[in-house]
Amino acid sequence: AQTVTQSQPEMSVQEAETVTLSCTYDTSESDYYLFWYKQPPSRQMILVIRQEAYKQQNATENRFSVNFQKAAKSFSLKISDSQLGDAAMYFCAYISSNTGKLIFGQGTTLQVKP
Amino acid sequence: GAVVSQHPSWVICKSGTSVKIECRSLDFQATTMFWYRQFPKQSLMLMATSNEGSKATYEQGVEKDKFLINHASLTLSTLTVTSAHPEDSSFYICSARARRGNSYGYTFGSGTRLTVV
């Protein structure tokens, strides 16, 4: 079975600085997709960025980028120029092409200090 | 973009009663919908997968007789918590996958906070 692990329960960053959230996963599949979701205090899940496993190029969405290391099964999220609105719980997630199920990591709570 | 509407956003019910939560895809057809449960400051735990026109598939440990799921159309899935008890109090979130497939991820409803008293 696939698993997703986020080893950092909490992280903090100074406003305008850069922070990296870690995520590792375990799978025997070769075809899958990886995501980072943001859950602010409203608890609405918001897609931040996605990565197809077959693509070597790291995905980027404005201030958000990932470091995808397929061999190491690592998928970290880098947030540049952190803003107060980035404060939220961040979840790393995996979709199996076989089952279609979205599997979440434990989450990392990000605090942004002014 | 794809929008999923979930209602109610919060509900308080008495122990022993049943509560229905609705999840609607507003601008796309959702062949598959998923129901999650989330405790405070914890991750989302998948409860079940509902496919339009067929029976839901429940994850291990989830009581199918307590959490009834119906996916009668391509735009509506419902979760009914039957004979609710205080331990069923939680945050329930639905998500839907459009026909475009896995690569686009899932769109989530805004969640339902259930409190059983």
Closest CA of chain B from A33, distance in Å: 6
CB-based contact A95 B95, cutoff 8 Å: no
Residue whose entry in the numeric block shows the structure tokens 């590792």? A24
pLDDT of residue B100: 57
Instruction: Select the residue of B46, B97, B108 nearest A44 (Cβ to Cβ).
Output: B108
Closest CA of chain A from B18, distance in Å: 24
Tens-place pLDDT, residues A76-107? 999 999 999 999 999 999 998 788 888 999 99
Q: For residue A82, which of A21, A11, A13, A23 has the smallest C-alpha distance? A: A13
Q: Which of B91, B92, B106, B110 to mutate to test the interface with A (most CBs of A within 10 A)?
A: B106
pLDDT of residue B110: 96
pLDDT of residue B102: 54
Which residues are CB-neighbours of B83 under 8 A, at least 6 positions away?
Answer: B16, B17, B18, B66
Chain B residue with Cα closest to A51: B103
CA A45 to chain centre: 13
Cβ of B105 under 8 Å from any chain A Cβ?
Answer: yes
Which residues are CB-neighbours of B23 under 8 A, at least 6 positions away?
Answer: B4, B5, B6, B33, B35, B76, B77, B78, B79, B94, B96, B109
Closest CA of chain A from B108, distance in Å: 6
**What DSSP element (H or E) covers B16?**
none
pLDDT of residue A92: 98
pLDDT of residue B53: 81
Chain B residues touching residue A47 (CB < 8 angstroms)? 105
- Residue B99 DSSP one-character state: T
Cβ of A68 under 8 Å from any chain B Cβ?
Answer: no
Cβ of A10 under 8 Å from any chain B Cβ?
Answer: no
CA angle B99, B105, B109 (to 5 degrees): 90
Separation between Cα atoms, residue A9 and residue B47, nearest integer Å: 23
Residue whose entry in the numeric block shows the structure tokens 């997709």? A33
Chain A residues touching residue B98 (CB < 8 angstroms)? none
Tens-place pLDDT, residues A36-63? 999 999 999 999 999 999 888 999 999 9
Amino acid code (one letter) for A70: K
Tokens encoding B14: 């008495």
Decide: residue A92, CB within 10 A, 0-12 exposed, 13-18 middle, 19+ buried. buried
- What's the Cα-to-Cα distance from A22 to each of A5, A9, A32, A78, rounded to whole Å? 9, 10, 18, 9
CB-based contact B104 A42, cutoff 8 Å: no
pLDDT of residue A96: 81
**Confidence band (pLDDT; 50, 70, 90) for A69?**
very high
Instruction: Select the residue of B44, B103, B110 nearest A104 (Cβ to Cβ).
Output: B44
CB-based contact A43 B102, cutoff 8 Å: no
Per-residue pLDDT of chain B (117 residues; tens, 9 = 90+): 678 999 999 999 999 999 999 999 998 888 889 999 999 989 999 999 988 888 899 999 999 999 999 988 889 999 999 999 999 999 999 999 865 555 566 889 999 999 999
